Structures are given as structure tokens and as C-alpha cells.
Amino acid sequence: MDELRLEAYENSQIYKQKVKIGTIHLDPSKESRPRRVVPTRPTRSWTSRLVPGPADSTVQ
């Protein structure tokens, strides 16, 4: 039973090392992609599209 446990532990360590190496190589490509900016709170231009206000209305 102890042999199986040690073998499983060794396999998990090998797997973790391979995953760590793989993620290190992927990080530069993630950083090179532009990220989309999402507003954290409603802005005037964003809310004007939802609810037309007096500035947007042309009918008097």
C-alpha cells in the first residue's frame, strides 16, 4: 500500500512540474493579447444608450 502511495505522489509531482512548465510558456502569449475594458460603473455615454435623456431627445 505504501508503494502505491509513493508512486502516486511521485506521479503527481511530475504532473505538477509539467503543468508549471506549460503555464510559464503560455503566460507571454496571454499578455500580448489586448484586453477588453469593461466599465465598473455606469458612465454617461453608457447610460444614454439605455435611457434617452433630455440631451438625446430632439422632440419638444
The mean pLDDT values, 10 residues at a time, for the chain of 60 residues are 86 84 60 65 62 55
The pTM of this model reads: 0.34
CA torsion, ordered 16, 21, 25, 31, to nearest 10 deg: 50
Give the sign of the dihedral formed by CA 41, CA 46, CA 52, CA 56.
positive
pLDDT at 36: 72
Q: What is the DSSP string of 1-51?
A: -HHHHHHHHHHHHHHHHHHHHHHHHHHHHHHHSPPPP--SS--HHHHHHHS
